[in-house]
Amino acid sequence: MSEPRSTPRHRRSRTALAVGVPLALTAAGTLAYGTDLGVLGLTAQQASAAAPSWAADTADGFASVNSLGQNGTYGGRGGQVVTVKTQAELEKYATAAQPYVIVVAGAIHLNPVGKEIKVQSDKTIVGAGTSGHIVGGGFFLGQGVHNVIIRNLTIRDAYQGVWNDKDHDFDAVQMDGAHHVWIDHNDLRHMADGLIDVRKDSTNVTVSWNKLSDNNKTFGIGWTQNVKTDITIHHNWIRETEQRNPSTDNAAHAHLYNNWLEDAPGTAIKSAYGNYSRGGTKMVLENSLFQGVNNPVIKDSGAAVVQRGNSFSGTSGRNESGGTAFDPKTYYPYSLDKAADLPSILKAGAGPRASIGKTAASPKAAAATTLTVAKDGSGQYTTVQAAVNAVPANNPSRVVIAVKPGTYRELVKVPSNKPHVTIQGTGGSRKDTTIVYNNASGTPKPGGGTYGTSGSATVAVEADDFQARNLTISNDFDEKANQHLKDHQAVALRTAADKVFLDGIIVSGDQDTLLLDTAAKDRLGRVYVSNSYIVGNVDFIFGRATAVVDRSVITLKKRWNGDSAGYVTAPSTAANRKGILIANSTVNGDVSAGSFHLGRPWHAGGDASLDPQTTVRNTNLSNAIKSAPWTDMSGFSWKDDRFAEYKNSGAGAGPASSNRPHLSDAQAANQEVADWLAGWTPAAS
């Protein structure tokens, strides 16, 4: 910036892996996105036919945390997509050393019964719609196996006729010493032993959106003296199971939320217990629903259970809590549904989906054209801008610019006549591919004058339907070395377009890092930022776009001279439009307590007709946030504009006051992500 420093409620659908759905939540601080299906080495037609468009999604929860040399869980991303219909084909690719996305099309009956296919690292095994069934056996992930996704499958019917079977160890999924595993959207039932066994120090596991039913032993965790396992279990429907729902033994961190445990009346299967915390386990149990369950929550004397927001209906017996656990939001962001809503949510959303990520408003996109960029000359182009230049004017369909790992010191501009462009890093981490430059507002231009704030951007996007994924965009302007320059605003990324989707990226700078603008004051410009990092110190999320920052980490940074002081947002919203919404995120950083404002109103050019808006909701705020989080700017009072909070948490959150307005529940119902996006459903393409 050039400023001096001084409707009805929309419920998000759980049936689609799309915006606002916890299925593809990725811990914002740790996720690494990889190649999309259009850049897997197959032709676009082959890729489209071989796998659903969401097969490249990445995990949330502890499976997304960077540890043990693995940055998140993304399965076979980057490997070939193969479709299998026989046991031999499935075993061939599941046991291979190289990464694969393995699509199971049809029912595969395992021989002998009870066989557990030994899955190796870097695999995604995913069902084609609801047709992917593994019958009579399951999967085994042994010591050191990592980065595995098992998704959208039905695994069933290894049952040997003995209810509490102690002779047959026929599990749906068994892990012995594995790490970074995501089990999501499966139907697991009627096996001889457990449905899921997480054993022998397996860790960084997320189990989400599954149906677990018709079994004696549902879900066992532990069986070791080491207190090592980190596991997230959320949005699972556990129905008609007797024990281990789950049983959690010596887990360092067990986060269970939004699970529905149902023991229906009038059936032969009776629950012995629900969630069990054993040994040295530290468990956080939130917003889960227990219906008809005996002993719904139990703990050993040495274990911990911290309960919050759970609901119990028709339960009996032990319901225990006690001890101290941990704060899951220090590891990853997440959002909670109400416990009372879980039956409708999970009946619609748990288990395999016939069509995921597609809605009437977002039909299947045309297959993408892929252009590759590599500094070493192994791609089609050596700079990102050269690839953008190669996109034909007024291109009618998606063009993916796949950028190989490296640091690209260049300026990139995507002009308005080149829509449907995706710039995507192909490395294992978003840190592997960086686009960086160091212009500032006051930097002299070669032809005279200075760049100005908007002109300082490292990457400038003026084309609609733009996407960026799995990379870092940075402005590394050195303020300390350039004190002779007047204006130090230095933009990393500027968008001035509609339907901009920024997913799994890092945007890094100091002052004015992320400029979210529109093509004109009277034009709509919607931007959705998810699973990302945004780093800066002064007004570093700003502009007049209708912008959502969802499930992301906003990192506060000290100024060049070591001072801790700044402003997170500076909206310049036009009247009757929505401004900046920060939701389900985390605001933190190595700065002093009480040193940052959440925002201030930017009336660009002194335009009094503007009505700046920032809402921060369901977000964890560190103690860096001031108790009076909003402030004036350039003679304009924040109280004359639209600044509010709703149900934030953390040391930086505070009660409502005249200096800290909170939304009512009724107001918040019209300030959700879907309200901001106004009918647009961002989806990776």
Q: Which amino acids are annotated catalytic?
A: 512, 539
Distance (Å, whole) CA 199 – CA 218: 14
Residues contacting 510, CB < 8 A, separation 6+:
475, 477, 479, 488, 490, 536, 537, 538, 540, 557, 559, 560
Amino acid occupying residue 442:
G
DSSP 115-167: -EEE--SSEEEEESTT--EEES-EEEE-TT-EEEEEES-EEE----S-TT-SS
Say if residue 246 is preceded by a cis peptide, omega within 30 of 0: yes
- The position carrying tokens 């190649």 is 35
Those residues whose C-beta lies under 8 Å from the C-beta of residue 646, and which sit 6 or more positions away, are 615, 616, 617, 618, 662, 663, 667, 668, 671
For 181, the token pair is 């595993």
| Residue 204 tokens, joined | 């960084």
Contact 587, 619 (CB under 8 A): yes
Q: 90: buried, middle or exposed (CB in 10 Å: 19+, 13-18, 0-12)?
A: buried
CA dist., res. 44 & res. 51, Å (int): 11
User: Tokens 């676009």 appear where?
Assistant: 44
Q: Give residues with Cβ within 8 angstroms of 420, minimum separation 6.
A: 395, 396, 397, 398, 399, 463, 464, 465, 466
Distance (Å) of CA 532 to CA 30, 504, 553: 9, 5, 6
Amino acid at 438: N
Q: Say if residues 490 and 440 touch (Cβ distance below 8 Å).
A: yes
Q: Is 66 exposed, middle or buried (0-12, 13-18, 19+ CB in 10 A)?
A: middle
Which residue from 385, 353, 355, 357 is spatially nearest to 371, judged by alpha carbons? 385
The sign of the torsion formed by the CA atoms of 19, 458, 66, 336 equals: negative
- List the 472-475 sheet strands across, edge first: 406-409, 433-437, 472-475, 506-508, 533-536, 553-556, 586-588, 620-621
- How far is residue 654 from each of residues 166, 333, 587, 648, measured CA to CA in Å? 53, 19, 14, 8
Helix (H) or strand (E) holding 180: strand 179-184
Distance (Å, whole) CA 73 – CA 57 = 9
348: DSSP letter: H
Burial grade of 319 (CB within 10 A; 0-12, 13-18, 19 or more): middle
Within 8 A by CB and 6+ apart from 75, the residues are 58, 99, 101, 122, 123, 124, 147, 148, 149, 182
